[in-house]
Chains A and B, each alone.
Chain A
């Protein structure tokens, strides 16, 4: 990041959601911000730098999409505050780069007409011109520019087409000696202003644009199936199901490879390192601990691949459409669906994405239930236990039992999120009605291979970085606890029984014994508060040290030997609910502006985890699975 220089031209990207502002930001600044085909991807302001052709430096600001400057929800407020210069330490931008989707000009031009009242130099970019041309939309740029009173250029942001022309125009406009810029005359438009602006926009479109007779037939045909009342729901379920099957099936070969790699590495360290503390640290702490988490990288990437493809294709808004009544029945805001779906990847972007929700209570409810959605950090926990305890056999001939159990765990997460929001709405907020829901369904687009791969790469790096920092440091801690103090000379019990880990574990165990957790689980849960996967790594280390030299086996095998099925099921139930992610809690605190909602979320999730594990454990015991 370069520091901002007062000589820089400050240019803000503004436009309706999903018009390609972020794609253009990336093309202009070489950044890699997230682009996807639904409204509400960008919920923060992002700053980047670029050079115009004349060599002037520009500070470009990417903003959340907005339909007007009224600031109806927290993300729209950010756009408004930047454009109107309401941020305390900031002047308004020197220049507005308005981005419009060339295939969807009506709403975009109405916004441009509203923005003219801000009295900043403006340039209108008709983005997605490739799609418009393909569909036969004919736009007379000179006429459009004359009618609107704003210069107009075209671009295809995802292919970096039109960028040079755009840079030249920025030079032309921003380079002019600043004629005294009038102060903003913008005031929140009333209904009559909006009607007048839309009429004006429609007039401009009639004068400058000739649309083809038929709309995008591709989208219409795909939607005939995907939004069909029956087929659409079947498709949604099938999609989720294939996704979970794929997480198991596709990732397995690569996981086997990684496991083999770590096994080889373990064997190799045994030959080069002298027996002793160092060897134990590398084998038990690093390889059995951190390695047991890294093995899950392929599964996490398969999940992300699915989510990214769906996002880029334009399916997210459709899923929100199909689920709206079910969500509304639980008192969730119609726009809550996309944040909750994003939480499948990770609750943190999911919680940030709730900024698109205008109603404060609805936003709080969504934030509170977002961590219940099964995030990718639970995958290591779930698959470890499933692989160790659930046989890999087909059900009904074609479904895998393991995938089915995984699907069930996801379903439990979803249903409990709905149940919690139902309770919150009916008993705490005492509201039964649901607020308005209006959402644009964007046309489908073929996913951009480059952007999908880029995103996957970023995910993989973020995961490895976590493994190298958070998880590694927790492993150092747990290895230390499990190794010291050393057993007295001549002791016959396993060395770990004398360690701090055992002491702490035994100390907590009475609290967790009713839910079937042994001391090893109890102690693994402590570093596990930092992040969910850490518990897997901790168990890996504890069992590796406990097993001694001959047990350089995978943690899954150790668990299958040492846990009862009832304990394993209780552990799964615990992980559906447990608030074991420090970063999520920190984001809740930040997004809600205080400790209160963070603690409420923490305690309700903890109580649910305990109760769910308690019920599961005793039900399993009653069924004779002890």
Chain B
């Protein structure tokens, strides 16, 4: 049930830093941003990495807001719904609660 877009923009993630082994095959399944995952995706949060400030909201603040909604490493996530325009925002089930967020913010949530 895992549908993913091609993700050429995905470069350095936490797992990449942790596993600097050059060989792709020995790594744990590669973490991808939740923001690129499709309807029906199920997985676990691997890391939260916010790549930059957003309109007076600092990266650290966005990270804290995601954490405060219960989106922490290890939480089970499941994309239940996609918005009508550009498949945005998404409704994500996180360990039993449903949270709506935009794909742009979901880019910070790396999932496996």
Contact = CB atoms under 8 A, between A and B. Distances in A.
A232 B84 contact: yes
Contacts of A320: 100
Contacts of A190: 60, 64
Contacts of B66: 438
A260 interface: no
Interface size class of A (residues with CB under 8 A): 35 or more
Contact of B84 (A199, A230, A359): A230
A198 interface: yes
Given A324-B88, A435-B54, A441 B67 contact: no
Contacts of A44: none
Given A195-B72, A229-B83, A438-B69, A433 B55 contact: yes
Given A325-B89, A435-B56, A438-B105, A72 B84 contact: no
B85 A438 contact: no
Contacts of A324: 83, 88-89, 100, 102
Interface string B43-64: 0000000000011110010111
A325 B88 contact: yes
Contact of A106 (B80, B88, B96): B96
A172 B54 CA distance: 48
Contacts, number: 127
Contacts of A191: 60, 63-64, 67
Contacts of B93: 215
A439 B99 contact: yes
Interface in B77-98: 80-89, 91, 93, 95-98
Given A230-B84, A438-B105, A211 B57 contact: no
Contact of A436 (B54, B87, B88, B98): B54
B24 interface: no
B112 interface: no
A534 to B, nearest CB: 40
A104 B105 CA distance: 23
A325 B100 contact: no
B68 interface: yes
A230 B82 CA distance: 11
Interface in A39-71: 67-68, 70
Given A215-B93, A229-B82, A198 B70 contact: yes
Nearest to B97: A104
A434 interface: yes
Nearest to A105: B96
A106 B97 contact: yes
Q: Which of A191, A215, A230, A359 has the most CB of B within 10 A?
A: A191
A70 B82 CA distance: 30
Interface in A94-132: 103-104, 106-107, 110
A322 interface: yes
A20 interface: no
A165 interface: no
Interface in A542-561: none
A306 interface: no
B36 interface: no
Nearest to A432: B55
A107 B66 CA distance: 11
B3 interface: no
A440 B101 contact: no
Contact of B102 (A103, A195, A436): A436
Contacts of A147: none
B84 A322 contact: yes
B30 interface: no
Contacts of B100: 317, 320-321, 324, 437-441
A111 to B, nearest CB: 8
Contacts of A321: 81, 83, 89, 91, 100
Interface in A168-203: 189-191, 194-195, 198-199, 202
A153 interface: no
A441 B96 contact: no
B70 A110 contact: yes
B77 to A, nearest CB: 13
A530 interface: no
A93 interface: no
Interface string B18-51: 0000000000000000000000000000000000
Given A194-B64, A194-B67, A233-B84, A435 B98 contact: no
B14 to A, nearest CB: 13
A334 interface: yes
B83 A325 contact: yes
Given A195-B72, A195-B73, A227 B81 contact: yes
B105 A106 contact: no
Contacts of B56: 359, 435
Contacts of B99: 438-441
A198 B55 contact: no
Contact of A435 (B55, B84, B91): B55
A440 B98 contact: yes
B54 A433 contact: yes
Given A106-B96, A215-B93, A359 B65 contact: no
A233 B95 CA distance: 27
Contacts of B84: 229-230, 232-233, 322, 325
Given A436-B62, A437-B89, A438-B99, A359 B55 contact: yes
A461 interface: no
A325 B56 CA distance: 20
26 contacts: A68-B68, A104-B96, A110-B70, A190-B64, A191-B60, A191-B64, A191-B67, A194-B68, A194-B72, A198-B70, A198-B72, A223-B81, A227-B80, A227-B81, A321-B83, A324-B83, A325-B88, A334-B102, A431-B55, A434-B102, A435-B55, A436-B101, A437-B89, A437-B101, A438-B101, A440-B100
Interface of A: 67-68, 70, 72, 103-104, 106-107, 110, 189-191, 194-195, 198-199, 202, 211, 215, 219-220, 223, 227-230, 232-233, 317, 320-322, 324-326, 328, 334, 358-359, 431, 433-441, 443
Given A359-B56, A436-B105, 14 more contacts: A104-B96, A110-B70, A191-B64, A215-B93, A227-B91, A228-B81, A229-B82, A320-B100, A324-B100, A435-B56, A437-B105, A438-B69, A439-B101, A441-B98
Interface of B: 54-57, 60, 62-70, 72-74, 80-89, 91, 93, 95-102, 104-105
- Give 6 nearest A-B pairs by CB, closest first: A325-B85, A194-B67, A227-B81, A67-B68, A229-B84, A441-B98
